[in-house]
Structure formats: C-alpha cells, structure tokens
Structure 1
Amino acid sequence: MQVAHLVAAAGLALALLAGTASAQDRPLKVVGPWEIAGIDPAQSGYIFSRMQVAETLVTADSTGALAPALAESWSAGDDGLTWRFRIRGGAVFHDGTPVTAEAAAASLRQARAGAGILSQVPIADIGHDGGDVVIRLERPFAALPAFLVNYGAIILAPTSYDESGRVARIIGSGPYRVKALTPPLKLELEEAGGWWGGQPGIREVKYLAVGQGETRALMAESGEADLAFSMLPVSVARLKRDPDLDVRAVTIPRTRILKLNAASPFFDDVRERRAVSNAIDRAGIAKAILRNPDLAATQLFPPTLAGWHGPELPPLRRDLEEARRLLAESGWTPGDDGILQQDGRRFAPTLVTYASWPELPPIATALQAQLREVGIELKVSVGNTSEVVSRHQDGTLEMGLVSRLYSVVPDPVGALMQDYGPKGGDWGAMGWSDPELLGIVDQLMATGDPDRQPPLRRRAAEILQEQLPGIPVTWSELAIVANKRITGVEVDPFEVNYRLASIRWAD
C-alpha cells in the first residue's frame, strides 16, 4: 500500500511538472520540500532568492564570504553609523525599469516596515544619494552587510507594491521572472532578459513543492525531475547506483534542535533540560536515520562554522544514569507505570514537528523511544512549520523538533539575535533569556574587530552548551540529485542561491 501511495503521489507530481517544450527549450524541472506560503518576502522570500527571481544588495559565496550582488561595493563611515552601497550599473527589473538607488532604498524601507530580519537592525533611515543606497544607523552595527544577504531584504521594483505598500507581485531583477505562481506548491519561471550577470543557460524553470522525500527520489529516478533537493538518507544510497544521476551531499550550517519551553514545568530547571540531553542517543539517530554517524550534534554549531564550533567544549553525550540522577534531583519520581511524576503531574510533554524536512518525524519517533527509557512519556504531533511558530507565539508549545539554519545571515550572530533575544524566537528560545548572552550578541553586532570576536563567540557557545534552551540533536547535510543530462550544477551550503542560471543541458 505504501509503495502504491508513493507511486500515485509521484504520478500526480509528474503531471504537475509536465511540459511540452522541445529538447533544448524544455524547462528545467526542480523539486524540493519547501512550500510557497505566498509572496510576502518575510515568509517566502527564500524561494524567490534561491530560484534567482529577486536579488539582494549583498550575497554570499560558497564559503560564506560576502560578495557583491546588486551592490557592486559598500563601505562604512568612520563613525560606523553611515553605510553606502553603490548600485551596479546596468541592472534592470523585470518590468524594464532600471534598478536605481532610489528604488532599492524604497524596497528596503518596505522590508524594514514588515516582520522580516531588517526589523532587528538599528536603522535610523534608509535613503539614496546619486547611485548609492545610504543606510544610517542608530548605533554601530558591523553586521549590516551580512544582514542584507537575507531573503527578507530582496530588492523589488516599485511596481511590486500596491497602494497600501504591500507586496502584490514579485518583480525582481534576477535572470528569471515569475511566469505563474500557484501557492503553496507550484512556481513557473521564464528568462527575464537583460540580467546583468548574463543569459541563463536554460530559459524556463518549473519548481514543485513535494513533501514526500521518497516521491522526490522516484521523480529523480524516472527522469521527470532534473534537480531534486533535500533527499532522504535512505534514498541516497540507491540513487548513487543509478548511472543517470549525480548525487551530492554537503554539510551545511543547519542543526536539528529540540526547542524547549523553559517556562513550562517540564523544563524550567536546567537540570531537566540537561537530563533530556543526556537521554538522547545522537550517534544512534545519526547512523540509523541519517546514515552518517558524524552528524551527531555534540554542540549547537557544526564544524563547518569554524569560528563558532568549539572543539574545547565538553561534548553532549548519552548518559542514562546521569539523566535519571538529574531528574530525581529536580523532583521527579517514577509512578506505578514508570513514567515520572511531580506534584501529581506526569512527565508527558507533546513534541511538535513537521514533515517538510522528511527526517524530522522519524527522529521524533526515535526520541520518543529514548526518552521513555528515563521515564518521560513523549507525545509526538506531526504538523507543519507554522504550527511550531503559532504555538510558540501563543505559549502552548512544550517541545518542538526543528531544523534551524545558522546562515540566516552568513554570520550565525544573526540567528542568535533572532533566537535568543529577550522574548526568544520562533526557532530559538522560549521562556528563556540570558543577560550575558544578550550582551555578547550586542558586542558582536557592534564590532568588526577580528581580534575581539573569537572570545565572544566562544563564550556564547559555552552559555548555550551549559543552559541548553534548545538541545542539539544532529547536524545536517544537504543532499541533492541531478540528472546527468544537465551540467553546471552547484551546491550552495549556505542555501542562499541555487545558481540555476549556470545550469545547461548536456545533450
């Protein structure tokens, strides 16, 4: 029944992607797990950024280093309060109008007024002067160019907005423009023409959100998907044996975390949080589910984030005896059925996760079994990403298993700012805040001094390792599969840009 279900799902997906173009003009068919929530850049800007529809002033290369995009250069004044971004010549929006400093500044002001990442930057004013976007800050903020890499800062044409200032259509400046958009599953693109970076190798692209990882694998094997993202580890070994496919996996700055409500009676004591951490068999999960034991997360930041990963930190490890000791010390005693109790309350929290990252539900099931060994009865609810966010915001979330990207901006300090502010963050802390960590984040934001940053980063990692407002479970790889009929595929470990314009038909 399961196989039949997957085949049927694949058939439906193939029908949605079907095209009638001739050989060289046929569309590039891309599948991934990410649904398109709408056109608000704060929510779905990552789709339009990754698919090269809209661009930011600054981008990042495959090492995370900042690189020019719509801004060909940038600089800060001596006081660190005034930044100038020089708009490159020759860039045009998809409606044929030029990308000017005035248009870019207006787009950034609209982004700042919303719920995107720019709302977290101490911006006093965004204006323009000749060919420069001029951003004036309330206080020094050395990370500003890195924040402008984020998809929430994509630059849209003035005609993208309605009379109230809301985004009504996506008119960007990338090599592709939107031909058709059917949220939440389907996006069709066509060559925009006039892109400053040159002509894309393939003129049309079709993207389809396919939640089932095995369905994406079947589409790759059948040849009906040219490029498939976020492949299940269980599928990768099989796909590698297919002579028509090229499978690649890169470690990315993303960690799967148990997000805890530290204000709940289950996790308001750091000993409870440490006990949960000690109950987790990370190596077993990484080996059995991810097929790579090296992805066991012994700390929050993976080794790819060399400036943040601390080899000197005591690693998180499994120790059931220590977990039981900490739980007893914090007032939990076994009931008749072995489940811990405290003041008449069973230790039975609900864990919410989602299937858009297909490995999360099986990891949740493994955690359920592992925590049961120390007397915690974990209830698992698989919904969608919005449920984690909404339950964080209304205070009902007890636990969430999430996949957190630490290159929201190319420097993880941007994610720390989002996740561990005074009120926490949708993908970070809940019911927990630490004044020392907040001070460290402020210092990192204000200074670009390479000598001051390393000790601050180390101390931030230590605090998160000691307090565990979120418990790291595994690090991540991004596995993609490309049909060998295409060439020029590049894998961006920072998930900023899929570089679709570089792809060509090999035949």
Structure 2
Amino acid sequence: MVSLSRRRLLGVGLAGAGAALALAACGSGAGGEGQPRSGGTLRIGALGQPSKIERDPHQTLSNDSDFLILSLVFDALTVPGANPNTAPRLASRWTQLDDPRVWRFELAAGATFHDGSPVTSADVEWSLRRLHEIAGETKVPVVSAQDVTADGPSAVRLTTASPNRDLPLLLRLMTFTVKQGATDFTNPIGTGPFRLESFNDGNARLVRNERWHGGAPLLDAIEVQRFDSTTAMTNAILAGQIDLASNVGAVAGRTARTRSNLTVVRRPNDVVIPLVMRTSDGPFADARVRQALRLAADREELVKQITSGYGTVANDVLGTGDPTYDKTLARRGRDVPRAKALLAQAGFDTSARYQLFTKEEAAGEVDFAKVFANQAKDIGVNLEVVTQDANVFYDQTWLKAPLYTANWGTNDSVIFFASKTMYSGTKWNESGFKDPEFDATYLSALNAHDEATYTAASHTLQRIEYERGGYLVWGTADGVDVASSAVHGLPRLAGYGRVQLEKAWMSA
C-alpha cells in the first residue's frame, strides 16, 4: 500500500500537498469542465434510518446521513487520499519517532473551532481518549487511553503496543476532534468546513465555515436530507428535489444514465459485501467447508445481478484497492464437484438447514444473500435467508452468528481489514479468526522497514485469508452517486472519501 506513513518522517501541509491531494481526489465535476465558483446550496440525499440517528461523533455511525453531517462539522486527523491513500486533515504533519511505537501528529496551523477558539492538543487528547474509551483499539489503535498525550500546545503523541507504520492510515475518518470536555452534541461546535445551522430528524442544514483551516469551501450551504431507502432517494433525484443522491447504488445509476440533466459518478472499489463464515466454532469452522462455499459462488453472475454491472469480480481477499493487492493468487471460479467433495471430506451435514443472516443496509446486500443461497443449493447446502432490522442484527448477530453478510465502505487497504476484522486482538473480529501465522505476519507488516518487506507481508496475509480465512469476497461494487449536471467538483474517491465536499461547487 502507498500511504503517507511509508517513511519515517513525512511532513505535508494542508496549504501545500494536502490541498493538491484534495483537488486531485475531485474530478472536473459531475457536470463537466468549468471554472469553480462560490455560492449556492447543495441539496444532498443520504441513507439513514430514524431508529439509528446518532449525533455523537464518537459513537457508531450506522447512517450514511449522520456520517456525512458529522464529517462536514468535525475534522478527523487524517482522511482518505488518492495517491498516497492517506491525506492530511486536522493533522497537517506526522512523524514516526526514533521509538517506532511512537507517532507525533502536528495540528494544522490556524485551526479553530466554529466559535473562534483555537484547536489545541488538549482538545485532540480529550477526543482521542474519549473515542478510545467508547470504541477501544478498533478506532484508536493504542492499548490505553493514557497512550494518547499532548505534546506541546499543537501536537499529540500516540504510543502503540508495538511498532505500527500504518497508524496514520488506521486513524482515517475515525478521529473527530471535539472541544475538551464536550459530551453534549445537540449544538455541536466542530472544526470542519461547515457549521451546523439546523437539525431535524436526521435532516440538516450546514453553512460554510469561512475560517476553515483548509480554506473556505465554495458552497454557501449544504442541506442533507435523510432517506429511508434508495428507491425514495432515486425518485427524489429524478424529480429534481435534490441535487446529489449520495451512494444511491447501481439501479439508480442505470436509470439516471439516460437523463441528459443527470450525471452518474462511479467510484471503483467502493463497497464490499462479503459473506462472513465463523471460523472458531460451529458448522463452518472447518476450512474445507468454507472453501466449498467459496467454490459454490458464481461470481460473474453475482456481480451482474447485484451490482448491475457496476462492479468487479473479487477473489476472497478484502482490500482489493490496495496497491499491494496480490494479483498472482489463482482466480477462484465456480467448481461444484470440487465443492461437494470438500463437504464430504469434512463430514458436513447437507441434510440440515442453515440460517444466513442479512440486513437492508448496503445496496444489494439482501439480494446477494438470496442469490448466493440459491447458488449454494447446487453443492447441497441449504440456506435460509433471514433479514433482520439493522439494530437487531448488530445486537444479536454481528460477531456471533455462524453465517451472515457484512458490508464495508473502505476497501483500499489489506492492512486495514487485518487490523479491524481479522487480527485476533481486535474487538471486531467478524469471523472469530484466530490464526497465529496471520497475527505474526500482521505485526511484522506494521514493523516493516522497507516496501519490499511490507509487500511480502501483505501477500502472506492475503494468501492466508484466501486459503483459510472466514470471508467469501465475491466482488466489489462501485460507489454510485447521481448528481445534477449543475454540480461539479465531487470526490471520486472510493469509500468514505465521498464525504469530502469542501471543493464541490454549483454552476449558475
């Protein structure tokens, strides 16, 4: 992977290379070439369920609408970039010190809160410690909240348990900074490019922050409208009720591409909807059974049906957009006889019926579960698709059930998934995967001193996941946004890069 953490010392300022990265991440715009202009209100539709509305930036943000609002109000230390894939935000510069367990993050010069008060290291220390106390190492990869310390008035230090060369990447979009002592976010005071003017039932109006440290945004305001479904959001963009349908999915993209007043923005390697198979116990603990399920998948047909062609076949490895992605792994196709033989060797009970849990969260997630269940019949595996409310799913199923679907909107880093979902020490180990070789290789990757060593470790992680991991990764879906032809400068980055809207603008 190419990221800003590749060297011992990297100093990138938001006024210099960081701003260039932000511009590079945005195309010429959804509506074609033109001279950027200030002004206008951008009306954005985003998915969100009323039962999952969350206003605390350090809690789990299940709604796209909430994540969008909070990403505009608050700044993270680092954010996704184009090349390299980690860009500055509130942190303008970071350094791995002589002790490779310690990183120093310097704050952007002139960064202030919306009330005009300066952002200090005490604010960042408070925010990271609070985030760690709420979410643990999955969002702030240190052992204890005390491992985050202020270093002078405008820098913080993070000390990891072992050397971690990818810490800046692992902090992307997780580290929203709030004022020291803040716990009530009814009227949030952030540092981001937009200020919250009003909020009602997940809908919000945000206005330009003229004093933003990255330079004043071009738009006067952004109005975020929460939609319960992609169908409702699609109808709204087609009717001209909104200017941008964010992450609306392939069906809307296919409909909109025939409209001259609309533009489809495709962001490759955006969403991944894997099948999660529990490896530690239960009916899928035998690696041969998991391989059989992978061989049951007709990947080309899944991409065709689930993404309407707005996607790419994948090979059972998460992080397909990573520059170190191993393209030498044999392309796994459908092999029904081999799958049946593996099930027989493992003594798998094909007379039983197994539940496959899913939820209506990512576009196509439920459809994938249903199509795959039908494909699995050909190898003698009977799956009952159970669609749960997202709240029920995360309370009762996620991290526990033998078989379920997941979805991730960040797919450009193998080490990200190793850290968040497969390393035995993470709280988000979705498949209960505990593999000593994987753990040792993961730690060695974080301690690699050169690119060749890092790439070799990354390839080993991918091989282990490919051979005996707990995921069936059948494909990746493009991120699909639909925009009015009057909207320009939209981000083209996959995943959560789509929320970086400070360079967006509207033609008259």
Per the normalisation by structure 1, the TM-score is 0.84
In 2: Cα distance, 1:363 partner to 1:103 partner: 43
AA matched with 1:314? A
Shift of 1:320: 0.9
Q: Which residue of 2 aligns with 1:158?
A: 180
AA matched with 2:362? W
Q: Which residue of 2 aligns with 1:5?
A: none
Per the normalisation by structure 2, the TM-score is 0.84
Larger radius of gyration: 1
Q: Which residue of 2 aligns with 1:353?
A: 358
Given the alignment of the two structures, is residue 97 of structure 1 paired with residue 117 of structure 2, yes or no? yes
Deviations 1:210-261 (A, max 9, x none): 2422222211111111111223323322201101001111212542210112
Counterpart secondary structure, 1:414:
helix
2:410–2:494 CA contact under 8 A, matched in 1 = no
1:492–1:498 CA contact under 8 A, matched in 2 = no
AA matched with 1:458? H
Q: Which residue of 2 aligns with 1:464?
A: 465
1:54–1:173 CA contact under 8 A, matched in 2 = yes
Q: Which residue of 1 aligns with 2:274?
A: 257
Deviations 1:102-132 (A, max 9, x none): 2222222222222153443346342221332
AA matched with 2:219? I
AA matched with 1:326? L
Shift of 1:279: 1.1
Q: Which residue of 1 aligns with 2:408?
A: 404
Q: Which ranges of structure 1 fall in alignment gaps of 5 or more residues?
A: 1-23, 334-339
Cα separation, partners in 2 of 1:421 and 1:394, compared to 1, 3 Å: closer
1:286–1:296 CA contact under 8 A, matched in 2 = yes
In 1: Cα distance, 2:72 partner to 2:266 partner: 22
In 1: Cα distance, 2:172 partner to 2:365 partner: 27
In 2: Cα distance, 1:135 partner to 1:456 partner: 24
Cα separation, partners in 2 of 1:136 and 1:419, compared to 1, 3 Å: closer
Shift of 1:148: 2.6
2:48–2:226 CA contact under 8 A, matched in 1 = yes
AA matched with 1:173? T
By relative contact order (CA 8 Å, sep 6+), the higher-ranking structure is 2
- Superposed, 1:68-467 pairs within 5 Å as 68-116=88-136, 117-122=138-143, 124-151=147-174, 153-158=175-180, 160-161=182-183, 170-182=188-200, 185-292=202-309, 295-301=312-318, 303-307=320-324, 309-332=325-348, 340-341=350-351, 346=352, 348-392=353-397, 395=400, 397-407=401-411, 411-422=413-424, 426=428, 428-467=429-468
AA matched with 1:418? K
Cα separation, partners in 2 of 1:138 and 1:227, compared to 1, 3 Å: same
Counterpart secondary structure, 2:347:
coil
Shift of 1:173: 0.6
In 2: Cα distance, 1:448 partner to 1:53 partner: 37
Taking only aligned residues, the RMSD between alpha carbons, in angstroms, comes to 2.6
Shift of 1:302: 5.8
2:314–2:474 CA contact under 8 A, matched in 1 = yes
In 2: Cα distance, 1:104 partner to 1:281 partner: 47
In 2: Cα distance, 1:331 partner to 1:138 partner: 41
2:315–2:466 CA contact under 8 A, matched in 1 = no
AA matched with 1:128? D
Counterpart secondary structure, 1:108:
helix
2:90–2:108 CA contact under 8 A, matched in 1 = yes
Aligned residues: 462
AA matched with 1:140? P
Q: Which residue of 1 aligns with 2:8?
A: none
- Superposed, 1:34-49 pairs within 5 Å as 34-35=48-49, 37-40=53-56, 41-44=58-61, 47-48=67-68
In 1: Cα distance, 2:259 partner to 2:46 partner: 20
2:317–2:462 CA contact under 8 A, matched in 1 = yes
Shift of 1:305: 1.7
Percent of residue pairs bearing the same amino acid type: 19
2:399–2:430 CA contact under 8 A, matched in 1 = no
AA matched with 1:179? E
Q: Relative to structure 2, which stretch is displaced further, 114-123 or 199-208?
A: 114-123
2:491–2:498 CA contact under 8 A, matched in 1 = no
In 1: Cα distance, 2:164 partner to 2:469 partner: 27
Cα separation, partners in 2 of 1:402 and 1:37, compared to 1, 3 Å: same
Cα separation, partners in 2 of 1:386 and 1:457, compared to 1, 3 Å: farther
Q: Which ranges of structure 2 fall in alignment gaps of 5 or more residues?
A: 1-37
In 2: Cα distance, 1:246 partner to 1:369 partner: 35
Shift of 1:300: 1.5
2:276–2:406 CA contact under 8 A, matched in 1 = yes
Q: Which residue of 1 aligns with 2:33?
A: none
AA matched with 1:196? H
1:49–1:154 CA contact under 8 A, matched in 2 = no
Cα separation, partners in 2 of 1:182 and 1:472, compared to 1, 3 Å: same
AA matched with 1:33? L
1:432–1:469 CA contact under 8 A, matched in 2 = yes
Shift of 1:293: 8.1
Deviations 1:330-372 (A, max 9, x none): 2246xxxxxx22xxxx1x1211212221211111111121112
1:113–1:119 CA contact under 8 A, matched in 2 = no
2:128–2:140 CA contact under 8 A, matched in 1 = no
